Chain A
């Protein structure tokens, strides 16, 4: 199972873009990259996922490098409600098994 490496914590000013990096250098060709976030004491919330191409939805953008060894989650205009732990996950193919790391604690400040 591929593992991910993320910074322990990051800060971001409200209204600015938050760029959260993730390394997954051992990822296999058929493994998806998923991002979830977890606000204190709640269940994780799905944000976005991708395989090879960059993806965008109403919450965020996901940029995956061409060699697929790293990715960046972008929150274009961070708000105080985006303060959470963000998990970069590589999903095991053909299953719903998600392997969580310790994530990045994002603090958005006024």
Chain B
């Protein structure tokens, strides 16, 4: 059974650019959540997708958007990057509540 994978591992962008991060869910998992983890902080919930529909959103501006595909893989898009967007972005999948979430290794985004 393949776990949750994320790509790329690391990414460097400049302020104002756009970025797309990708996540491949664990087999059989129809729910995916995205989190942002700043250095020294706990992960912060961005949003969640269930069967291709957004199913909950945290306190993040609209320039953070996402997609979930029929195969349950997912993308996180961030427009107009700001310096404070520099963080570890984590994707987590689950087969549905109240089951555990399985996290990927994350994508480290640096905005210069």
Q: Which residues of A contact B (CB under 8 A)?
A: 32, 34, 36, 42-46, 49, 87, 91-92, 94-103
Additional 12 contacts, C-beta under 8 A, given A43-B92, A95-B56, A97-B56: A36-B103, A43-B90, A43-B106, A44-B103, A46-B102, A91-B97, A91-B98, A95-B97, A96-B92, A98-B101, A100-B43, A100-B44
Say yes or no: B43 contacts A49, CB within 8 Å: no
Q: Please report whether the interface of chain A is mostly helix, strand, loop or mixed according to DSSP.
A: loop
**Contact A96-B43, Cβ < 8 Å, known A42-B105, A46-B100, A91-B98:** no
Interface presence of B61 (CB below 8 A): no
Say yes or no: B105 contacts A43, CB within 8 Å: yes
**Contact A97-B33, Cβ < 8 Å, known A91-B98, A102-B41:** yes
B67 CB → nearest A CB, Å:
17
Say yes or no: B98 contacts A98, CB within 8 Å: no
Instruction: Give the size category of B's interface with A.
Output: 20 to 34
Say yes or no: A49 contacts B98, CB within 8 Å: yes
**Contact A97-B106, Cβ < 8 Å, known A32-B98, A49-B98:** no
Interface presence of B78 (CB below 8 A): no
User: Which of the residues A36, A96, A103 comes within 8 Å of B33, measured between beta carbons?
Assistant: A96
Find the A residue at minimum CB distance from B57: A97
| Chain A residues in 8 Å Cβ range of B4 | 43
User: Which of the residues A45, A49, A94, A97 comes within 8 Å of B58, measured between beta carbons?
Assistant: A97
Interface presence of B25 (CB below 8 A): no
Interface presence of B86 (CB below 8 A): no
**Which residues of chain B (76-109) have a CB below 8 Å from chain A?**
90, 92, 94, 96-98, 100-106
Interface presence of B48 (CB below 8 A): yes
B32 CB → nearest A CB, Å:
9
**Contact A97-B44, Cβ < 8 Å, known A45-B103, A46-B100, A46-B101:** no
**Alpha-carbon distance between A34 and B43 when the two chains are bound, in angstroms:** 14
| Chain B residues in 8 Å Cβ range of A101 | 42
